[in-house]
Chain A
């Protein structure tokens, strides 16, 4: 575990790409199997470990520690895993004379634990590891490593270490699993290139760029096709005889959560599309909202009731393989013709084809994107008709052109210190708008919370305002002065609005962020709740 925790410590603080690559390739070259392969899985996000809830970790630490002292510590450090790693009192536990476990041993232990054994095993490991090892372990089991290493960078380090081409590594990648022993054996020249045993592997997806200011000028609309951009999640369905897998756009296997779609596929090949809840166009059922889809996301398994209340389908965008034939080199129109045939023959309630939007000028398309025919549309996609299916985010062949976000002017009401890098800044803001009170007069009512959207300079301004205008403190939260003639107005942008029984205002924003600081406005000029209520979908 020590080599791995040292690696993490260095990676977190090494800003340069070359520095990171050196640290990674030295690690992969010097650490034995299976540890290095598990580390690779951790860094690339392919190692599935049993999660430990933060609440359990807190309970464990409070078995030995005064809650007030823990509170002071957490407040100071700002990160739960790091706080526990640092305050954990090793001496009071059984003195760790035992050898520190290797990463492989820790992973094996975690994978073998039953539900009731977790508490004891975690306590035991925390006693055995040093502070740096505890931090690494806690980050592993709580998820969210956030060390600025992408899967791509890890693969580049493998290429650096071995002299092999990264494209070869990427092609193999989704067919292999941690601890990647066959991969390392090949990289080090001790074995042949691994033969993929699993069919229905993931292939990297093609991504788009947002339309910039003058990106479309000079482009001929007739060279492009347009489709609606649906508000679901992008997926890839990959089927080979008896094996069918559903992948997220980053290559996570999410088949387990969607048995309805996986079992409905009746074609061999790989298609690209949007996963949505509701009915297909050809079954004449409406497409349902993203919040309905959310009911089905991030689940390992799913109940029969879920399946009937929130049925999913795929709105197909593209095709990569038909049978075993790679069609990524064909152009958009040719691929779409193939896709159309496959979707026609697929179950009508589970698959439909993303419709084309007829348009003759960019202005016309611009009008259409602002007035889409379905509330679950978030904009349009523009795809060059002669383009091949090319993995990655090449600039030119595909564009996304979203609807304008919704905006309101709101008043800052509460602020909380951020976590991690922002632990010394007030960076999480609750804001409100004016609501008429039954007994007369207006009052601010919270309508949302945002912790991004602003620049670093704007954060300095906000932080300073909070510190100078605090009227009350509740633990880490500060209540900020917000009166009609004294307060801080911000323009909040958001993607949508839902009704909510959990909030006093009755509304909840989707994806809110602080778009601008409105230092030119007084709180009395901020928006009223009525404005928001009018934005609710009927």
Chain B
């Protein structure tokens, strides 16, 4: 039996498997990369060969152009392939469309790299599948007991109530372009809102792609002023990437009400510091109970913690008799959600 630390270990370029000669979510260009999902800190351009799900390959091509890698190979959920005697399997992670956990098995040891994941139902991607393993590599973005994400339907209820209370104000929702934006739109539709939703240009391609994959987003319109003045946004729902809110772009809206859809919105001062008036606690990551329930369910021999608040999750594992250590990977955005 091979030692897990010899099968997969952190390097400056990312997690590396020497037997299979590949990296997982490398942060620098490498010869062979396995990618968990399409967020830009995990999926970068410039690798020699890329192995990931069809949807993640499509998303990378949309973001970086078709020549984002030397060559690409798609793998289905549940399918296994072999690289230099290492067995590789991809399983749904429930994070965003196309997101996967990667199981790496060799000489009797199986390590699962979960990437980013969540356990809540999400109409915009396949649900997380627990994969038994010896070592579970988990994220810890919300790895503190303060994070208990509420039911997203309740959060959307707050938005709908505000639209009634402030019918003149444009409701500007900040949401990351891949995953969060489409999930928020989908949740708003599930909440019964059927008017057009206006989107920032940076969201257009990804929203089109989600629609092409059969995800219902309803009528989306570009949030441009060319056709019709600023009055068309009165009382409207507008979605854009969070960075756009500090841009000139946001000035076109009438008395805008700043909203941010993120797990970070759980903490009031976070919302206050960003000038958010209506926080929507909607996350594509596990909250604390989901993290510890997943570890409790998988009962792995060891837990390695990648990015986020490693120390609290490691502490919890110790208290519960599970070997755990932080991996201290660099290059992944702690703030991303």
Contact surface of A with B, Cβ cutoff 8 Å: 6, 9-10, 12-15, 19, 22-23, 26, 65-66, 68-70, 72-73, 76-79, 82-83, 86-87, 89, 91, 130-131, 135, 420-421, 423-424
Contact partner of A72 among B144, B148, B279, CB < 8 A? Answer: B144
Comparing B6-14, B95-103, B311-319, B329-337, the segment that makes contact with chain A is B311-319
A66 to chain B, nearest CB (A): 6
Contact B267 A69 (CB under 8 A): no
B268 at the interface (CB under 8 A from A): yes
Between A and B, 15 residue pairs with Cβ closer than 8 Å are A13-B272, A15-B277, A19-B166, A22-B165, A69-B315, A72-B312, A73-B145, A76-B267, A77-B146, A77-B269, A78-B269, A86-B148, A89-B145, A130-B150, A421-B269
Q: For window 255-278 of chain B, which residues contact chain A by CB distance below 8 Å? A: 266-269, 271-273, 275-278
Closest-by-CB residue of B relative to A68 is: B315
Complex Cα distance A327/B277, Å? 47
Closest CB in chain A relative to B105 CB, distance in Å: 33
Residue in contact with A82 in the complex, picked from B144, B267, B275, B316, CB distance below 8 Å: B267
A163 to B84, CA, bound (A): 80
Shortest Cβ distance from A346 into chain B, in angstroms? Answer: 50
CB distance from B264 to the nearest CB of A (A): 11
B143 to chain A, nearest CB (A): 9
* B interface, CB within 8 angstroms of A: 144-148, 150, 158, 165-166, 266-269, 271-273, 275-279, 289, 309, 311-312, 315-316, 319
Partner of A65 from B145, B271, B277 at Cβ < 8 Å: B145
For B319, give its contact among A15, A66, A77, A89 (CB under 8 Å). Answer: A66
On whether the beta carbons of B165 and A14 are closer than 8 Å, the reply is no
Instruction: For A69, list chain B residues within 8 Å (CB).
Output: 144-145, 312, 315-316
Task: Kindly provide the distance from the CB of B67 to the nearest chain A CB, expressed in whole angstroms.
Answer: 41
Chain A: CB-nearest residue to B277: A13
State in angstroms the CA–CA spacing of A68 and B276 once bound together: 31
Secondary structure type dominating chain A contacts: helix
Asked whether B268 lies within 8 Å of A66 as measured between CB atoms, the reply is: no
Contact present for A72 and B269 (CB under 8 Å)? no
Contact partners of B312 in chain A: CB under 8 A: 69, 72-73
Q: How far is the CB of B273 from chain A (nearest CB, A)?
A: 7
Contact A131 B148, CB 8 Å, known A77-B267, A421-B272? yes
A72 contact set on B, CB distance < 8 A: 144, 309, 311-312, 315
Look across to chain A and name the residue whose beta carbon is closest to the beta carbon of B275.
A15
CB nearest neighbor in B for A420: B269
User: Are A76 and B148 closer than 8 Å at their CB atoms?
Assistant: no
Rounded to whole Å, the gap between the CB of B160 and the closest CB of chain A is 13
Which residues in B have their C-beta under 8 angstroms from that of A424?
Answer: 273
| 5 nearest A-B pairs in the assembled complex, by CB-CB distance | A86-B146, A87-B145, A72-B312, A73-B146, A13-B277
In the complex, what distance in Å separates the CA atom of A65 from the CA atom of B312?
Answer: 12
- A15 / chain B contacts, CB cutoff of 8 Å: 275, 277
Which one of B146, B150, B277 contacts A87 once the chains associate, using CB atoms below 8 Å? B146
Q: With A and B bound together, what is the CA distance between A22 and B255 in angstroms? A: 14
- In the bound complex, residues from chain B placing their C-beta under 8 Å from that of A130 are 150
Instruction: Give the CA-CA distance A65 to B158 in the complex, in Å.
Output: 31
CA distance A22 to B166 in the complex (A): 9
Asked whether, in the complex, the Cβ of B269 is within 8 Å of the Cβ of A79, the reply is yes
Chain A neighbourhood of B278, CB < 8 A: 10, 13
- Chain A residues with Cβ below 8 Å from B272 are 12-13, 421
Asked if residues B273 and A421 are in contact (CB atoms below 8 Å), the reply is: yes
* Chain B residues within an 8 Å CB radius of A89: 145
CA distance A423 to B271 in the complex (A): 13
- Give every chain A residue within 8 A of B279 (Cβ-Cβ): 13
Distance of B246 from chain A, by nearest CB (Å):
16
Please report the C-alpha to C-alpha distance between residue A72 and residue B146 in the assembled complex, in whole angstroms.
10
Q: Is there contact, CB below 8 Å, between A13 and B148?
A: no
List residues of chain B with CB within 8 A of the CB of A14.
277
Q: Please determine whether B145 and A26 come into contact, CB atoms closer than 8 angstroms.
A: no
Nearest A-chain residue to B288, judged by Cβ: A87
The residues of A that contact B271 with a CB separation of less than 8 Å are 13
Look across to chain B and name the residue whose beta carbon is closest to the beta carbon of A419.
Answer: B269
A218 and B166 CA atoms in complex are apart in Å by 50
In-complex Cβ contact of A26 among B165, B268, B316 (8 A): B165
CB distance from B285 to the nearest CB of A (A): 16
